[in-house]
Each structure stands twice: as structure tokens, then as C-alpha cells.
Amino acid sequence: MVKKAPRRTAERILEVTLDLFNRFGEPNVSTTLISAELRISPGNLYYHYPAKDELINALFDRYERALNELLHASDNVRNVEDAWFFMHSLFEIIWQYRFLYRDLNDLLSKNRRLETHFQWILKNKTQSIKSLLDGMSRGGAVHIDSREVEATATSMVVVLTYWLSFEYVRDPRHALEAENAQTALLRGAHHVLHLLVPYLEASQRAHLLGLVDSYRNA
């Protein structure tokens, strides 16, 4: 039997850091705590990541790559079923890196690189949602005036971006715990797509409401 090669230390550091950031919030996690959780010396941690910002940037790079790869899939959305799956997938990535959204304003105020890249992310999200609306329009699932597309796409991006912050404010002690992931993701996907209800074709509107009910009762 071939033994698996041990994971590289740098990879382990990122995995543990992500878990700690998600559990406690980035401002509450020190490099000392990270090295203690890993059972390595602070010097070993600094060898791989000389500053806490480098850990944040490395995790953000992973998030950005995963997000941008998924955003391209909006070109294939034609109906509510497609849109539901797409939106849920987006929220899964956001949940995986939820510390970024829990502490978003604080992180942006301290990290110029994140500030710049998050502006690009917002633009990419907005363009992706516009592509989604265009595909659903061509598929006959939505009927929306071209003059309303920009505002609708922006509203959807706002909810998508700040939904986990809303969940956190509602229940700071429990909302972002792992066991609440499914509920938070479903609520987020539902509320983003609910913004399309005025524009959905009747059977598509009924299908969206049916999807929401089926997941609520699952």
C-alpha cells in the first residue's frame, strides 16, 4: 500500500488558519494562536507566512480563484432551477470563506490589496448576475425591461455580499457555526432570487416557491 505524502506545512497552516478565522473572526485570531493550534513554533509559521496579512491574502487568493471560476457558469443559467443551483453554489463558496464577509469592512480598512480586489469582485459579481438575467430572459423565464437590469443586478449583489453579515447580526453566537450552514445558505439563495419574483414567468415563479418550500421541509 502506497503511503500518502504528508501535507506540506504551508498547506496545513492555511487550512487551520481558515478554520480559526471562520470560528472566531479574523481580528480575534493571533499568529500565536495559529501556531499553538498547529503545534508548531511561531518561527516555523513566520518562515512560511512572515505576517498575518500574508495569511489573509493567501486565503483571499483561494477564495477569489474559486469565485471567479464559478461566476463564469452564470452564462449557462436559463431558468429558476439553474439559478437556484448557481446561487446556492455561490453561497457555498462564500460560506467556506465566511470570515471575509463577517469582518469585511474591518478587513478592507486594514488591507489595501483586499480593498482593491474586492472592488473587482463586486464588478465581476454584477456582470455575472447580468449574464444570468440575460440567459433567463432568452430562456423565457423572466420578463424584465432592459432599464431595470442594472438596478436589479446591483440589488442581488448587495444581498449576496452582505447576507452573512445580516445572519451574524441576527444571531452573533450561532449564525456562522458550521451546523447552521445549510439553513443560512438556503435563506440567502432564497432572498437573492426572491428579488426576481416580479419578473418571473408564472410557472417559474411557482417553481421557485416550490423549491423554497421543499428545502424548508427537508
Q: pLDDT at position 47, please?
A: 94
Is 1-50's fold the same as 58-216's? no
Give CA–CA dist 212/81, Å, rounded. 11
Give CA–CA dist 179/103, Å, rounded. 20
Region 121-130: what's the mean pLDDT? 96
What CATH number was assigned to the domain covering residues 1-50?
Answer: 1.10.10.60
161 contacts 122 by C-beta, under 8 angstroms: yes
Give CA–CA dist 218/95, Å, rounded. 20
Closest CA to 140 of 212, 210, 204, 74: 204
Q: Per the structure block, which three cell numbers stand in for 22? A: 471562520
Closest CA to 20 of 52, 46, 51, 43: 52
Q: pLDDT at position 164, please?
A: 86
Region 55-77: what's the mean pLDDT? 96
Q: How confident is the model at residue 217 (pLDDT cuts 50, 70, 90)?
A: low
Element at 188 (helix H, strand E) = helix 181-194
Residue 3 has pLDDT above 80, yes or no: no
Report, at the CATH architecture level, how domain 58-216 is classified. Answer: Orthogonal Bundle (1.10)
Ordered by start, the domain boundaries in the chain are 1-50, 58-216
Q: How confident is the model at residue 4 (pLDDT cuts 50, 70, 90)?
A: very low
77 contacts 84 by C-beta, under 8 angstroms: no
Give CA–CA dist 39/140, Å, rounded. 57
- Intra-chain end-to-end CA distance of the chain, in Å: 41
Residue 7 has pLDDT above 70, yes or no: no
Residue 90 has pLDDT above 50, yes or no: yes
Higher confidence at residue 8 or residue 194?
A: 194
Name the DSSP letter for residue 195: T
Q: What digits encode the pLDDT tens for the residues 138-179?
A: 999 999 999 999 999 999 999 999 998 888 888 887 877 888
Give CA–CA dist 119/34, Å, rounded. 29
Region 108-127: what's the mean pLDDT? 94
Q: pLDDT at position 105, please?
A: 84
Give CA–CA dist 218/215, Å, rounded. 5
Whole-model pTM: value is 0.89
